[in-house]
Amino acid sequence: MGNPLDAPNTSEKPLAITMGDAAGIGPEIIAKAYREQPAWMSGSFVVGDVATMRRAAHLVTPSGRLALPVAVIATPQEALAVPSHCMAVLQLGAALESVPFGRVDAKAGALAGQCVEWAADAALQGQIAALVTAPLHKEALHAAGAPYNQFPGHTELLQDRTARFLGKSVAEVPVRMMLANDELRTVLVSIHMSMRHALEAVTFDNVLQTLRITHQALSQVLGRTPRIAVAGLNPHAGEGGLFGREELEIIGPAMEAARALGCNVSGPWAPDTVFMRARNAGGAPGEFDVVVAMYHDQGLIPVKYLGVEKGVNVTLGLPLVRTSPDHGTAFDIAGTGRADASSLIEAVRMARALSSGAGNLPPGRPKAN
């Protein structure tokens, strides 16, 4: 099998990148990725607004250089014929009225949601190989009103769209968030909810479901049974019940049930040390392939500490490949051209690897031209 990052031929499917919130850094990091890494971005296209992407292309153009050309396409397949050093854009609906940088705008939120829906449908229908989602703004998404105000973020929106496509309820399409870089992977039992609700979400069924989804997804990625470490909920993983009984009464029994299904799970381990044990650092492989964390911040803080520019968000459990950069819309720097495209490029890299069936991530990162 060839390198999944080679320029695709006409028999391959393109990669879709949703524009994200037009008031944030999404458009400019996309344009910067096309400008700095044309070989890696070849065979992909942007779903969004042509004028917004042209604005972004000019924004990231160095002084005295020509702006990145934008090719307007009507179908995903046309992206495969677009030459390198050119950004293909598929206009979704009517042109977006220009929105100011760094401000919550309902129009931008609505278009960001529509882009995700379109790309999800295209992936489910087999028109694209995978989708990479640039950051959307949750407040803008909520300001857009129904149906977007019912979704806390990308993951829930994609889950709902997939359930509709399959004719199932959302509960029948369980998904999990995995955040990954070259040093650490972590999967979360719960994602966007309050701390109180996150504690309530640590149930036997939710923990077991997370272990099953993690086992299935990473078995495909690694080509073998993954070594799954389970983080405890309480300090010192409960210290035998002294600091809480969730490890004894919920997490441990769920792990036993997962083992009975063929999962290689260990723990529950003290959450303040398990991530260090799983980390691949200095050429030394970690003890585990992935850590299952009990709630959002427990799992994401360690990965983000290693470098937001390296992290990639992957949605597990869907019948499609979706990745995303590990950062938000960064309204404070939007429009300045200073945003770093590294995490987006990593997301493209991972999406290509996963959709190609190549298994593990390709080694190394692209070098600037």
- The pTM score is 0.85
pLDDT computed for residue 9 by the predictor:
40
Band of the pLDDT at 3, cuts 50, 70, 90?
very low
pLDDT computed for residue 14 by the predictor:
97
Asked if pLDDT for residue 366 goes beyond 50, the answer is no
pLDDT digits (tens, 9 = 90+) for 96-122: 999 999 999 999 999 999 999 999 999
- Please state, in angstroms and rounded to a whole number, the distance separating the CA atoms of residues 92 and 105: 18
pLDDT digits (tens, 9 = 90+) for 172-182: 999 999 998 88
Q: What is the dihedral of CA 229, 179, 77, 1, to 10 degrees?
A: -40
pLDDT digits (tens, 9 = 90+) for 211-243: 999 999 899 888 899 999 999 999 999 899 989
pLDDT computed for residue 355 by the predictor:
85
Residue with tokens 């407040």: 139
The answer to whether the CB of 88 falls within 8 A of the CB of 71 is: yes
Asked if pLDDT for residue 2 goes beyond 70, the answer is no
The Cα-based distances of 38 to 43, 44, 102 in angstroms read 10, 10, 27
pLDDT computed for residue 362 by the predictor:
35
Asked if pLDDT for residue 270 goes beyond 50, the answer is yes
The Cα-based distances of 52 to 144, 162, 166, 254, 330 in angstroms read 18, 28, 33, 48, 17
Band of the pLDDT at 357, cuts 50, 70, 90?
low
CA 209 to chain centre: 20
The Cα-based distances of 279 to 91, 181, 289 in angstroms read 41, 10, 9
Residue 18: strand pairing partners = 47, 133
> Could you give all domains of the chain from N- to C-terminal order, each with its CATH number?
1-174+315-369 (3.40.718.10), 182-306 (3.40.718.10)
pLDDT computed for residue 278 by the predictor:
95
pLDDT computed for residue 172 by the predictor:
93
pLDDT computed for residue 363 by the predictor:
32
pLDDT digits (tens, 9 = 90+) for 11-32: 489 999 999 999 999 999 999 9
Mean pLDDT value across the chain: 90
Total residues found in the chain within this entry: 369
pLDDT computed for residue 65 by the predictor:
84
Asked if pLDDT for residue 86 goes beyond 90, the answer is yes
Asked if pLDDT for residue 128 goes beyond 60, the answer is yes
Band of the pLDDT at 308, cuts 50, 70, 90?
low
Kindly give, in sequence order, each residue whose CB lies less than 8 Å from that of residue 6, ignoring residues fewer than 6 positions away. Answer: none
- Please state, in angstroms and rounded to a whole number, the distance separating the CA atoms of residues 355 and 330: 28
With the C-alpha atoms ordered 241, 245, 251, 255, is the resulting torsion angle positive or negative?
A: positive
